[in-house]
Chains A and B, each alone.
Chain A
Amino acid sequence: MGSFVFKPFEEMTADDYAAIGLMGGLEVHQQLRTRRKLFCRCPAGCYSSAYDCEVLRHMRPTLSELGEYDGTALMEKKTRKNIFYRIHHATVCTYEIDDTPPFFPDEEAVDIALEISLLLNLNIVGEMHIARKQYLDGSIPTGFQRTTILGVDGWIPYRGRRIGMRQLSLEEDSCREVSDEGHDRVLLTDRLGMPLIEAVTEPDMRTPQEIADVCQIIRLVCRSTGNVRTGYGAGREDVNVSVRGGTRVEIKGVPQICRIPLLVYNEAMRQCALLHIRDELKRRGVTSDTFESAVFDVTRQIARTKYPPIREAIQQGHRVRCVLLRGFAGLLNHPTQEHTTFAKEFSDRVRVIACLSKLPNLVHSDTAADLLAVRDWKDLGKRTNRGEQDALILVWGSEADARTACDEIVIRAREATRGIPNDTRQAFKDGTTGFERVLPGAERMYPDTDLPPMAITMDRLDRIRETLPVRVWERQEWYRSLGLPPDVIEPLCISSRAELFQRIVVELGVDSVFAGVVLVQRLKALRRDGLDPDALSDTDMFEVFGAYAEGQLTRAGVLQVLAWWLRLPPDQRSMSTLLQAQTHRPLAGAELDRWVADLVVRTQHTPFRSPEARLRNLTGRLIREAAGRVDGREAAECLARSLGDSRLQVSSKGGQR
């Protein structure tokens, strides 16, 4: 396993991923479009980094309902963070800062979340129980996120197979981080309390691309309700990755689907490297049973070093401590991800848990660069009784932080003998991941004692089922069978015009590609022109396509009418009146011939490079002058006839009505 050689990202195949036993799962987060926040009556979706005041809090771990402490909770306790919440009075009330108990969950949010649950084929629970999911990193002032399961055990189709949906929960969103330096973490509370769903898949994906594809499907399902928020941060995903022989690692908060594949590739590479390191340690006789380490205060031994970070630390009165890891020599330089070595695993822990966030925060004996003088290493070797096979890691900081740092280094080193620790990892822009915290377990769940269980009635589900949109994968399949271009399929299947599209195609028999292009791309173009196509009701649009189907409008005329209508003052907008006006009746027969003859005469002395150029130019002019009353193909054909040149080929683009 550890012997698998990673190819560059672009060259990895599904077989390669099968060889390392890659398994991927997703937790897709999506904000819902509601008027209020989930557990209080604050307005939803008002974001600003302005704030009126700051509140300081500290977090302590508590026991789970089953009497266990959660590992993440204990980790966060070690960090001893001061957490500052920035509060804007208009968007945050006493609920979000945990000075008022919760109100009943927003009904709108529950309905939307149930709708998405049904679309994902989940089994809907009979009763919602609000749980507290502990987050001691301060991202929620209560120290926990209120969350509730709405459905379990569903599925979505993907390439002829089913991807399992483990569960869907409705929860409150957390704070946004402003900064996190040393022991101070600053958070913005504007996003706090926003209703959010978390849709969790089974680990059924086998390649990085599959994970991204499935994520896209779930995202589209959410969008198809028309009731979710869009924009940066409104949808985020956690990606779970494991390789054969390893364990689940979570990459947290990936903001864009397109970033998933590279992150997964790098994470898989890291995990394989960690397994390789474990095997190498085992070969050297280092296992979790035989693991040996020792910690020394070496402030005195290293006092004369020239290495600036350590020198500055000593000047500030900080301590320098050294961890001896028996049998680890050479491994700290082992690559784990692109441009990253095993030593970063230690540096990350020290940064996050001991709050030694100023980098570099450690130096180790495998470092190729001469950061410390040979004499320094010699002194340290003597002090720590270091053997040839052993590695040293030095850290510096206040007495307490340096101690915590050494404890964490020892913990991380011991984990190396077992392979891959259960981490939650940050997603970096370069596609690599970094330690964020210990992966929390079921122990962090605790029933919320502030709200009673709430039944989900059959009546409620029936009401939601009545207006359930067609599932996106069903729409997509139909669109593909109609021959719609891919760049129309995706936006159309989540568009609020999807139902209209179906009526236009089925009831009016309008060409589906034309209808799809108008509803997706042309409306977007109108928006770019500064018009508001949302003002067009489905009824208006249906009427326009009806006129087109009856031959009262050309294709160009359809667009012309829509634009004219949108340019009218709102109180004068009447589609029927507009359509009755003779001004957009298509040009045909003798009338079209007259327009063409006139144009040909007017331009007979204009020089053109070639007959083709003349035809192209005149076609364009005719379309412009006829203002939507003639389509390109028809104009070109008529002009070609009139110019009497049979060699002129009219492009065959454009379908039939």
Chain B
Amino acid sequence: MSDDARKGYRGLARTVLERHGVGVWSDVEIDSQQGRFTGLVLPRSETADDQHIVLKLSSGYNIGVAAATVVGMKETGRREAHYHIPEKEFPVDPGKPNVVLLGTGGTIASRLDYRTGAVIPAFSPGELYGSVPELADICNLRTEKLFGVFSENMGPEQYIRLAERIGECIAEGVDGIVIGHGTDTMHHTAAVLTFMVQNTPVPIVMVGSQRSSDRPSSDAASNLINAVKAAAEGDIAEVLVCMFGPTSDQYALLHRGTRVRKMHSSYRSTFRTIGDVPLAMVDPAGIRHLRQDYKRRRTDRSVQINTAFEEKVTILYYYPNMRPDVVDAVVEKGYRGIIIAGTGLGHVNKPLYPALRRACEKGVHVYMTVQTLWGYVQMYVYETGREIMGLGVQPAANMLPEVAYMKLCWALGQTDDREEVQRIMLTPVSDETTDREPYNGYLVFQGEIPEVQDFLRSIKR
């Protein structure tokens, strides 16, 4: 039997299967010291142990039989499973806007991987139409799978490819672009795309899901419907993130790509605009704008694509007792830019000063952001701040650390000139730094406070 016939099985479990001439997709009767088990042999996850054989029972349940207890095994038939999403050709309506969905991976469209037992991305217009037919009411959809990576594996290669492809799609005349993306680093990609793709005439909407699409309560379908809606019909021609708004299944929020951040490891409503308010609410009925200062959709096809990217940039997340050798090591390894996520208004401890001075003198570009995420770097308030600036560290206003990281990568990809880098860094492309923080830009409610409880009781969040 081929290797594939014992997919995922190693060690003892594999030996036992081999001894009885049985492979995956065999219907078997197994006699074991625990009694008899009847079912279909399934592939085993490669990360699981080598001691058990996985059976699917006729009731649909899976169980594991300990290989060491197996006394006999008899094949009674074979039955290979073919997982497929019912594919239907996506209908074309000349009266509807044309949207392209660029796939990068992630769980917006996914299927189960038998080897790892985990969810892997799967994606085609036909499959999407088969599972989310509502999309056809909004637009003509074309899909392109650019790459299939989990979002933590996204990097410059993917950013550049994505930006270039966006440029081509715009030139081809699409009315909107949706990017399917894993949620973990969606805000990193949203930030870098904001810098690489400027002056877009159409919406560029990033979307993902926090619950994989293989579950009935998945947010994938509703996020996708809302993102496609924003791309097809929306007026905001910017790089946006479209994700679940409240805890309830009600609407999605459109966030500016430079002000958005994933704030919970598992909540659906994990994406929040930080230090500002979101741009709009979206549901299948329509788009409700929350502010008017956005770039309008245009009919021209001009767009600037600048895919410059310097990889030797890092973020140092400051903690008390951080040692100067950390900074020295980064410089020694040839890093050209450092984003510090400092405490409070943008501070680090005194022992770091000489190391930071050495870094700046060696031409490393050092920018200060705040680990509080909300609020501005304000290094004039305390003497500490003024001293740190004196070392050559530049305050980056209220730019989020990850956004500052992406921007510095992009800036250093273009120039090494100190003043030019500084000009790029501190001139906002799309609100990565803002002049003012609105009063309702910081809302983190605390439970059990009576008025908050009243709110929760009366409003489905």
B206-238 interface mask toward A, CB cutoff 8 Å, 1 = contact, 0 = none? 000011111111100110000000000000000
Contact with A along B409-440 (1 / 0, CB 8 A): 00000000000000000000000000000000
Contact assessment for A142 and B58 in the assembled complex, using a CB-CB cutoff below 8 Å? no
| Alpha-carbon distance A645/B214, docked complex (angstroms) | 89
Q: How far is the CA of A89 from the CA of B453 in the complex (A)?
A: 10
Query: A465 interface residue, CB < 8 Å from B?
Result: no
A55-B248, A56-B248, A65-B112 known; A126-B216 Cβ under 8 A = no
Would B66 and A455 count as touching, CB distance under 8 A?
A: yes
B81 touches A129 (CB 8 A): no
Question: Chain A residues near B86 (CB, 8 Å)?
Answer: 69
Known: A62-B215, A66-B83, A453-B54. A94 touches B248 (CB 8 A): no
Within 8 A of A (CB), among B52-84: 52, 54, 57-67, 69, 81-84
Are A52 and B457 also in contact (CB < 8 A) when A453-B48, A455-B52 are?
yes
- With beta carbons under 8 angstroms apart, the residue of A52, A67, A132 that contacts B82 is A67
The segment from A95-103, A328-336, A629-637 found at the interface with B is A95-103
Which of A55, A94, A98, A152 is B63 in contact with, Cβ under 8 Å?
Answer: A152
Number of A interface residues in the complex (CB < 8 A): 63
Inter-chain contacts of A124 with B (CB < 8 A): 34-35
- Closest residue to A87 on the B side, CB-wise? B456
Q: Chain B residues near A148: list those with CB within 8 A.
A: 61
Q: Which of A49-71 contact B (CB under 8 A)?
A: 51-67, 69
| Stretch of A442-450, A551-559, A571-579 on the interface side | A442-450
Which listed residue (A55, A84, A125, A447) contacts B65, Cβ 8 A? Answer: A125
In this assembly, does B381 line the interface, its C-beta being within 8 Å of a C-beta of chain A?
no
A65 to chain B, nearest CB (A): 6
- Total contacting residues, chain B, CB less than 8 A: 62
B214 and A149 within 8 A (CB): no
Quick check: A62 and B247 within 8 Å, CB to CB? Answer: no
Name A52's contact: one of B67, B69, B456 (CB within 8 Å).
B456
Indicate if the CB atoms of A62 and B57 lie closer than 8 Å: no
A131 interface hit (Cβ, 8 Å): yes
Q: In the bound complex, how far is the Cα of B214 from the Cα of A446, in angstroms?
A: 9
Does A449 lie within 8 Å of B52, measured CB to CB? no
A447 close to B215 (CB less than 8 A): no
How far apart sit A128 and B49, CA to CA, in the bound complex (Å)?
13
CB distance A66 to B37 under 8 Å?
no
Q: Let me know if B147 is at the binding interface, CB within 8 A.
A: no
For A147, the chain B residues whose CB sits under 8 A away are 61
Q: B34, A126: Cβ atoms under 8 Å? A: yes
Q: Mark B176-218, 1 if CB is under 8 A from A, else 0.
A: 0000000000000000000000000000000000111111111
Interface string of A82-126 (1 = CB under 8 A from B): 001000010000100111110000000000000000000011111
A153 on interface, CB distance cutoff 8 Å: yes
CB atoms of A65 and B81 under 8 A apart? yes
Total A-B residue contacts, Cβ distance less than 8 Å: 183
Question: CB-CB < 8 A to A97: which residues of B?
Answer: 247
Q: Is the CB of A123 within 8 A of B57?
A: no
Residues of A within 8 A of B35 (CB): 122-124, 152-153
With an 8 A cutoff between CB atoms, is A141 at the interface? yes
Residues of A within 8 A of B119 (CB): 449
Inter-chain contact A131/B266, CB cutoff 8 Å: no
Residues from chain B with a CB closer than 8 A to the CB of A61 are: 216
Q: Does B36 contact A (CB under 8 A)?
A: yes
* Closest chain B residue, CB of each to CB of A97: B247
Residue A538 lies at the interface, judged by CB distance under 8 Å to chain B: no
User: Which B residues from 76 to 100 make CB contacts under 8 A with A?
Assistant: 81-86
Taking CB atoms, residues of chain B closer than 8 Å to A133 are 60
User: Separation in Å of the B412 CB from the closest CB of chain A?
Assistant: 38
CB distance from A226 to the nearest CB of B (A): 25
Smallest CB gap from A64: residue in B: B60
CA distance A54 to B52 in the complex (A): 43
Q: Bound state CA distance, A64 and B215, in angstroms?
A: 10
Q: Give 1 or 0 for each of B249-292: 1 = CB within 8 Å of chain A CB.
A: 11000000000000010111000000000000000000000000
B-side contacts of A166, CB under 8 Å: 59
Which residues from B are CB-within-8-Å of A128? 63-64
CA separation between A51 and B456, bound complex, in Å? 10
A122 to B448, CA, bound (A): 47
A134 on the B face (CB < 8 A) = yes
Interface pair B112/A455, CB less than 8 Å apart = no
Contact B266 A54 (CB under 8 A): no
Complex CA gap A131/B47 in Å reads 18
Does chain A have a CB within 8 A of B118?
yes
Q: Complex: how many Å from CA A303 to CA B52?
A: 68
Q: Is the CB of B216 within 8 A of A453?
A: no
Residue on A nearest B51 in the bound complex, by CB: A455
Check B354 for interface membership: any CB of A closer than 8 A: no
Residue A452 CB within 8 A of the other chain: yes
Give the complex CA separation of A555 and B69 in angstroms: 54
Check A452–B45 contact: CB distance below 8 A. Answer: yes
Nearest Cβ distance between residue A139 and chain B, in whole angstroms?
11
* Distance of A254 from chain B, by nearest CB (Å): 21
Which residue of chain B has the shortest Cβ distance to A124 in the bound complex?
B34
Q: Is the C-beta of A625 less than 8 angstroms from some C-beta in chain B? A: no
Most chain A CB within a 10 A radius of its CB, from B36, B61, B65: B61
Any B CB within 8 A of the CB of A136: yes
Interface members, chain B 350-389 (any A CB < 8 Å): none
Residues of B within 8 A of A443 (CB): 60
Residue A619 at the B interface, CB < 8 A?
A: no
Which residue of chain A has its CB nearest to the CB of B113?
Answer: A449
Query: Which of A65, A89, A141, A152 contacts B37 (CB under 8 A)?
Result: A152
B117: interface (CB < 8 Å): yes
Pair A63/B460 contact, Cβ less than 8 Å: no
Please give the distance in Å from B135's CB to the nearest CB on chain A: 13
Closest to A142 in B: B217
Tell me how far the C-beta of B10 lies from the nearest C-beta in chain A, rounded to whole angstroms: 14
Q: How far is the CB of B224 from chain A (nearest CB, A)?
A: 11
Counting CB contacts under 8 A, is A169 at the interface?
yes
Contact across chains for B52 and A126 when beta carbons are under 8 A apart: yes
Tell me whether A55 and B59 are in contact (CB under 8 A). Answer: no
A residues 442-494 in Cβ contact with B at 8 Å: 442-447, 449, 452-453, 455
Please give the distance in Å from A168's CB to the nearest CB on chain B: 11
Q: What residues of chain B lie closer than 8 Å to A73, measured between beta carbons?
A: 216
In the complex, whether B461 has a CB less than 8 A from a CB of chain A is yes
| CA of A97 to CA of B268, assembled, Å | 11
How far apart are B214's CB and chain A's nearest CB, in angstroms? 5
Among A84, A89, A99, A126, contact of B247 (Cβ-Cβ < 8 Å)? A99
B334 at the interface (CB under 8 A from A): no
Sample (17) of A-B pairs whose CB atoms are under 8 Å apart: A52-B456, A53-B457, A56-B250, A59-B216, A62-B218, A64-B60, A101-B266, A136-B216, A144-B215, A149-B62, A152-B35, A167-B61, A447-B62, A447-B117, A449-B118, A453-B117, A455-B49
6 additional A-B pairs beyond A63-B111, A99-B210, A167-B61, beta carbons within 8 Å, are A56-B250, A129-B54, A134-B216, A142-B216, A167-B57, A453-B54
Q: Which 6 A-B pairs have the closest CB atoms?
A: A127-B64, A143-B216, A123-B35, A445-B60, A126-B66, A442-B60
